[in-house]
Amino acid sequence: MTDSHQPAPPRPTSRDVARAAGVSQATVSLVLGGKWPGRVSEATAQRVRECAAELGYRPNLAARSLRLGRTRTALLVVPALTNEFFARVYTGAAAVAAEHDFGVVLYPSPDGTGPARDPFASARAALDGVIASSMASDALSALHGAELPLVMLDSDPAGTDAAAHVNLDIADGMRQVTDHLLGLGHRRFVHLASAVDTWTFAVRAQALREAVGAVPDAEMRTVRAPLNVRAGREATEQALAVAGERPTAIVCDDDILAAGACKAARRLGLRVPDDLSVTGFDDLALATAVEPELTTVQLPAEQVGERGMAALLAVLEGRPAEPGGLPVRLVVRGSTGPPAARA
Amino acid sequence: MTDSHQPAPPRPTSRDVARAAGVSQATVSLVLGGKWPGRVSEATAQRVRECAAELGYRPNLAARSLRLGRTRTALLVVPALTNEFFARVYTGAAAVAAEHDFGVVLYPSPDGTGPARDPFASARAALDGVIASSMASDALSALHGAELPLVMLDSDPAGTDAAAHVNLDIADGMRQVTDHLLGLGHRRFVHLASAVDTWTFAVRAQALREAVGAVPDAEMRTVRAPLNVRAGREATEQALAVAGERPTAIVCDDDILAAGACKAARRLGLRVPDDLSVTGFDDLALATAVEPELTTVQLPAEQVGERGMAALLAVLEGRPAEPGGLPVRLVVRGSTGPPAARA
DNA sequence: GCCTCGAAGTTATACGTAAAACCTCGGGTG
DNA sequence: CACCCGAGGTTTTACGTATAACTTCGAGGC
């Protein structure tokens, strides 16, 4: 409450700049717009730029949007920002957006919290395009009908009618995991899969099935769990309680599930990796926080966001989006090792 | 590439609604604005509302902002979204904002990544207010000079000239931790502190110092580390390598550091909590992913965002912001226990 | 010497909304 | 009867920008 209400020095407009430079408002707009190099003499342009800088002129975005009908704003639809992967996707997208004077506004689809508001009720009018994760399926239905350019992240390229797709080489990642474990000598696997049924997890499952199926004496069981530590632990405890030869490796759809699997192992008196190897997926911060550290697949999350935003910009300008999947990389750490000698 | 460029059915404007309802554009604005209850007959208002709904009319936000000079958009300045705490703060802020038809745009201050762009270069013109974490100190300097209402999160109430403050009862949390450990019988402590020097960490240090200082035979050493697992581990290894009686408890400024401390203990052959008790702060997802699970202080992160946004809305409307700190709660888990019997 | 032409501007307009200021008309009032 | 008044609108304007359409002027061509 120092001097709460100054007369509030009104932000300078292009007209103020024009007055200061002794030209018309249109000239200011021409100069600062940077187009039509031949329309204004370099001397005048220089003067206008100086005055603009001196006054601290910033174009009014609302007016610009109104005039142009475009807002230079994209919507990023993700399941939840508390998921580190999507926080990183946002970071990447925002970085590329900033380079092109674009803004990114988020719609984390409500996971129970908050009222079931239409995310586009207010936003739809102010967006140039949408980047959406396939994992935010509930929000995707709301997208239907919006006539906006759409870039899909990690979704079935054949499934949706998006203007562009940005995908990770998930299948390759899962193959790397399998090769690693098979190379170590593992033959009896459990696939600890995500309970949610999106493309990215379907790809994991299929790649794993194929890789294991190609080895004659290898076998695999699948259990499903929601994406949290406790569920991963409980599912693993169940899986290990099944009669028959104990599996020697658990392949998890996600680091969070892997952390749960490790906890289950410890509870059952099994050592990781001596008695049980565990692999994760994503390489979250979690992966190096637990003991032992997780062997996992590193995903270039920021790049997903960057490519997504770049693709949207391309679509908006009528250019083709850069094709091709993003490479992923197996990181071998302490949670995997050769299986114990057969009992 | 199905039918990429339809004539793009132009979004209906208030004038379209007016035409459909047989009234003037001004009437539509009056009705939909909801003010001046006496200016339009209920019958007419009803008709206008019906036509608007039928046409799917959404006011053009750019035009509204231009007219009103306000954008109904707030900037949230946080260090990094990949920090779960701030992701949750955002979630809370966005939820409250949505209830009031406000938007939240993020400025995660650059931690090395991305160009050193002025975050307000484009945004400043389009913001009604700012909510800033004290941990985003680099971005705060950029705020200086912006004549915007400012709400500070977890910052020294006396230090900044913000319009409102939203603070957690950090000191109380640290006292709960100390009481817990002292009650278990611990007397020799290490404070594993954050290397960054912000208010929230200063409060932790002081509360801890006071609580330990009040017990005659208690002693404490302090070591500092950046907020990541490896640094926490290394700092702990160093602290435990010091000659003299080994400390029996490590109080960490953050769960991430606590995870590092646990790893250090394991490397040195110490069991947690038998040989060494470890406490965290924040109650991140991490806390229940590691083994043993961390005794830590649960912070209502979403509420920080909610209160922050509510405070900003209050300031914008000239109302006083709700005062008072947000309570925090000690959660006792497996990483703390009584110290081993004296050797 | 007249016409054209390009360079370097200017003037004018539209974007969609909110709201101030203005109309219109029927009924009560002095 | 002249007057005002309020209910229920309408007309008009301003917000700040981008750009289409127009002006002006000196140089050059024939």
Claim to verify: residue A222 and residue A152 sit in the same structural domain: no
Claim to verify: residue B307 and residue B283 sit in the same structural domain: no
Would you tell me which residues 244-273 of chain A have a C-beta closer than 8 angstroms to some C-beta of chain B?
256, 259-260, 262-263, 266
Claim to verify: residue B226 and residue B239 sit in the same structural domain: yes
Looking at residue A38, its pLDDT comes to: 82
Claim to verify: residue B261 and residue B313 sit in the same structural domain: no
In total, how many domains does chain B have? 3
Interface mutation target, options A2, A66, A256, chain B, most CBs of B under 10 Å: A66
Q: Helix, strand or coil for residue B282?
A: strand
Is residue A331 included in any domain, yes or no?
no
Looking at residue A3, its pLDDT comes to: 42
Question: Any chain B CB within 8 A of the CB of A117?
Answer: yes
- Which of A299, A314, A333 terminates a domain? The answer is A299
Interface mutation target, options B82, B120, B230, B286, chain A, most CBs of A under 10 Å: B82
> Which domain does B128 fall in, by range?
73-167+302-324
The CA-based dihedral angle spanning residues B7, B13, B16, B18, taken in that order and rounded to the nearest 10 degrees: 180
Of the candidates B88, B117, B291, the beta carbon closest to that of A82 is on: B88
Query: What's the average model confidence in pLDDT over A62-80?
Result: 92
> pLDDT (tens digit, 9 = 90+) per residue, B222-242?
999 999 999 999 999 999 988
DSSP string, A197-214: --HHHHHHHHHHHHHHHT
Contacts of A9 in chain B (CB under 8 A): 147
Domain of A135: which CATH number? 3.40.50.2300
Which pLDDT band holds residue A300 (cuts at 50, 70, 90)?
Answer: very high
Is residue B118 included in any domain, yes or no?
yes
> pLDDT (tens digit, 9 = 90+) per residue, A196-207?
989 999 999 999
Q: Which of the nucleotides in strand C have any atom less than 7 Å away from a protein CB atom?
A: 7-12, 14-21
Residues of chain B under the 70 pLDDT cut = 1-9, 109-125, 137-146, 342-343
- Which of B35, B59, B83 terminates a domain? The answer is B59
Contact B124 A256 (CB under 8 A): no
Is residue A92 included in any domain, yes or no?
yes
> pLDDT (tens digit, 9 = 90+) per residue, A92-140?
999 999 889 898 988 876 553 434 455 555 565 678 999 999 877 666 6
Claim to verify: residue A175 and residue A261 sit in the same structural domain: yes
Claim to verify: residue B91 and residue B210 sit in the same structural domain: no
Is residue A292 included in any domain, yes or no?
yes
Please state, rounded to an integer, the average pLDDT across all residues of chain A. 89
Is residue A288 included in any domain, yes or no?
yes
Claim to verify: residue B267 and residue B232 sit in the same structural domain: yes
Claim to verify: residue B290 and residue B307 sit in the same structural domain: no
Claim to verify: residue B116 and residue B159 sit in the same structural domain: yes
Amino acid identity for residue A197 in this structure: D
Contacts of B66 in chain A (CB under 8 A): 60, 62-63, 66
Looking at residue A146, its pLDDT comes to: 64
Evaluate if the CB of B25 falls below 7 Å from strand D.
yes
Claim to verify: residue A210 and residue A157 sit in the same structural domain: no
> pLDDT (tens digit, 9 = 90+) per residue, B151-210?
999 999 887 778 999 999 999 999 999 999 999 999 999 999 999 989 999 999 999 999
Give dist(CA B35, CA A178) in Å, integer.
65
Counting other chains too, the contacts that B143-152 makes at CB distance below 8 Å and 24 or more residues apart are B143/B77, B146/B120, B147/A6, B147/A8, B147/A9, B148/B124, B149/B312, B149/B315, B149/B316, B151/B308, B151/B311, B151/B312, B151/B315, B151/B321
CA of B340 vs chain A CAs: smallest distance (Å): 23
> pLDDT (tens digit, 9 = 90+) per residue, A138-157?
666 666 666 789 999 999 98
Evaluate if the CB of A320 falls below 7 Å from strand C.
no
Claim to verify: residue B120 and residue B234 sit in the same structural domain: no
Which pLDDT band holds residue A245 (cuts at 50, 70, 90)?
Answer: confident
- With a CB cutoff of 8 Å and minimum separation 6, the contacts of B292 are B262, B272, B273, B333, B334, B335
Is residue A3 included in any domain, yes or no?
no
Claim to verify: residue B176 and residue B281 sit in the same structural domain: yes
Give dist(CA B80, CA B73) in Å, integer.
20
Looking at residue A4, its pLDDT comes to: 44
Is residue B9 included in any domain, yes or no?
no
> pLDDT (tens digit, 9 = 90+) per residue, A250-289?
999 999 999 999 999 999 999 999 999 999 999 999 999 9
Domain of B46: which CATH number? 1.10.260.40
Is residue A201 included in any domain, yes or no?
yes
